Amino acid sequence: METTLARGAHTTAPPLLQVDSVTLAFGGVRALSGVGFAVQPGSITAVIGPNGAGKTSLFNTISGFYRPSKGSIRFKGQDITRIPAPQRARMGLGRSFQNIALFRGMTVLDNIKLGRHAHLQTNVFDALLYWGRARREEAELRRDIEERIIDFLEIDHIRHAPVSALSYGLQKRVEMARALAMQPEILMLDEPVAGMNREETEDMARFILDVRAEWGVTVLMVEHDMGMVMDLSDHVVVLNFGQVIAQGVPAVVQADPEVGRAYLGSGNVDELRAKLRAAAGAAA
Ligand SMILES: Nc1ncnc2c1ncn2[C@@H]1O[C@H](COP(=O)(O)OP(=O)(O)OP(=O)(O)O)[C@@H](O)[C@H]1O
């Protein structure tokens, strides 16, 4: 795996996404407590933390599925805390899900097209009135998908295959394709390499780096594979019990004893890394 852009190269620009003092509770359970961090444009930012730390809750709050009881989320300088999820997607927050959320009986192409529909200007009623515009949009949609995303993710050979026939690694790639079809400014990836073998993980890491380098898409991911997080990320945010316990460049986070304690009860992140790699190998 290689990192193509210098780390920390984007830290002076105004943040693309700003999460500020976000608190979220489910009944008596505080999933997030005063969480704050910024995502710089063009960066790869990773959120890590032990099971139950609040990573999925945070992702759901940023993408608009949950509304925080306190705090705010700003995207491109605009407060989006009260904006519904579909509108956030149209504004440029595209995401994938931890457990594959593809339509298994549908083809790869149809699944990807569903992502792009978030952006179509034409709704059903408009379509009846402005049939020509709808057709033009459909044609543009197909071209965009076929020429850019499918080629880019090297899934041309499976475009007409039902998703159910694909390996897990390919399904995750299709999910990324669907998120990209939303033309996001921030691509939010929820555990992009979970359950993948080493080769699939390295392929996905390459796609993540390329999507940033070639398309200028900013990446925010939740990921358990510590090796990948440390190799790819410009900025790492560590959650534990719903709070940010450390954040910074990978080397700083890796050296933080509290991060090690949060995972293992020791200060040894290298051990954690080895364990996670072994677990990923065993799952393959
Ligand atoms: N819908 C919900 N209702 C009630 N409690 C929830 C809900 N979602 C999450 N929680 C609780 O909030 C806390 C944070 O959970 P969350 O799933 O966000 O953690 P996570 O870091 O994503 O965990 P994992 O790595 O296992 O996916 C946990 O205590 C969890 O039990």
Sequence-separated (6 or more) residues with CB below 8 Å from residue 171: 100, 102, 163
Nearest to 76 by CA among 45, 41, 46: 41
Domain count, the chain: 2
Indicate whether 64 pLDDT > 80.
yes
- Establish whether residue 250 lines the binding site of ligand 1, counting it when its CB lies within 6 angstroms of any ligand atom: no
* Shared domain check, 87 and 189: yes
In angstroms, what is the span from residue 56 Cα to ligand 1's centroid? Answer: 7
Smallest CA separation from ligand 1 atom 14, residue: 54
Residue 263 lies in a domain: yes
* Cβ burial 191-222 (10 Å sphere, 16+ → b, else e): bbbbbbbeebbbbbbebbbebbeeeebbbbbb
Q: Tokens representing 247?
A: 């954040």
Indicate whether 4 pLDDT > 50.
no
- Establish whether residue 99 lines the binding site of ligand 1, counting it when its CB lies within 6 angstroms of any ligand atom: no
Select from 183, 210, 233 the last residue of a domain. 183
* Shared domain check, 257 and 116: no
Indicate whether 267 pLDDT > 50.
no
Sequence-separated (6 or more) residues with CB below 8 Å from residue 157: none
Phi-psi map region of 220: left, alpha, beta (phi>0 left; psi -120 to 50 alpha): beta
- pLDDT (average), residues 120-144: 58
* Shared domain check, 198 and 164: no
* Shared domain check, 190 and 163: no
In contact, 162 and 109? CB cutoff 8 Å: no
Residue 77 lies in a domain: yes
The pLDDT > 90 percentage for the chain reads 42
* Shared domain check, 210 and 82: yes
| Inter-axis angle of helices 108-116 and 131-144, nearest 10 | 120
Pocket test for ligand 1, best of 47, 57, 188, 226 (most atoms within 8 A of CB): 57
- Establish whether residue 240 lines the binding site of ligand 1, counting it when its CB lies within 6 angstroms of any ligand atom: no
In this prediction, the answer to ipTM > 0.90 reads yes
C-alpha distance from residue 102 to each of 162, 170, 256 (Å): 10, 12, 38
* Shared domain check, 113 and 39: no
Q: What is the mean pLDDT of the chain?
A: 82
Residue 7 lies in a domain: yes
Select from 134, 163, 183 the last residue of a domain. 183
Q: Give the range among 6-10, 72-76, 218-222, 246-250 with minimum mean pLDDT.
A: 6-10
Residue 98 lies in a domain: no
Pocket test for ligand 1, best of 32, 55, 188, 222 (most atoms within 8 A of CB): 55
Q: What is the DSSP letter of 150?
A: I
Question: Containing domain of residue 109, as a range?
Answer: 104-183
Place of tokens 């994938």: 96
Indicate whether 45 pLDDT > 80.
yes
3-state secondary structure of 121: coil
* Shared domain check, 174 and 199: no
Query: For residue 284, what is the domain's CATH number?
Result: 3.40.50.300
- Establish whether residue 56 lines the binding site of ligand 1, counting it when its CB lies within 6 angstroms of any ligand atom: yes
* Shared domain check, 189 and 88: yes
Q: What stretches of 92-234 show up as alpha helix (H) in DSSP?
A: 108-116, 124-129, 131-144, 151-152, 168-180, 198-215, 226-232
* Shared domain check, 87 and 6: yes
21-25, 103-107, 131-135, 182-186, range with greatest mean pLDDT: 21-25
3-state secondary structure of 238: strand
* Shared domain check, 191 and 158: no
Instruction: Give the neighbor-by-neighbor strand order of the sheet with 17-26.
Output: 29-39, 17-26, 70-75, 78-79
Residue 242 lies in a domain: yes
Smallest CA separation from ligand 1 atom 13, residue: 31
Residue 13 lies in a domain: yes
* Shared domain check, 81 and 213: yes
- pLDDT (average), residues 190-198: 88
* Shared domain check, 217 and 83: yes
Using a 10 angstrom Cβ sphere, with 0-12 exposed, 13-18 middle and 19 or more buried, the burial of residue 131 is exposed
In contact, 227 and 242? CB cutoff 8 Å: no
What's the whole-model pTM score?
A: 0.82
**CB count, 10 Å around CB of 13?**
11
Position in ligand 1 atom list of the atom nearest CA 59: 18
